[in-house]
Amino acid sequence: MRDDLTQLVDWWRVRKAFFDRAQDPTWETELKTYHVARPYIDMIKRQAERECCTITEIVNRALQQFFASETAVDRHD
């Protein structure tokens, strides 16, 4: 049960950080069209349903993780 609670707290912290950042005007969303492999589209939809959140939230989180190292490098320049 401790592992479940730890996962829940981790999920909550990530979600809270996402919403805190979403209040920042520089992180305002914009509609763009990108080609994405069909399996990823299905995975994104399923994950959003599992977490009861938006597809935008899932995509932004994935991009944030992907660019995390690049963002860290940018901050040091």
pLDDT by residue (tens digit) across 32-44?
999 999 999 999 9
pTM: 0.60
CA distances from 10 to 7, 16, 51 (A): 5, 10, 13
Burial 28-47 (b: 16+ CB within 10 A, else e): eeeeeeeeeeeeeeeebeeb
CA distances from 68 to 52, 65, 72 (A): 24, 5, 6
Q: What is the pLDDT of residue 69?
A: 75
Per-residue pLDDT for 29 more than 90? Answer: no
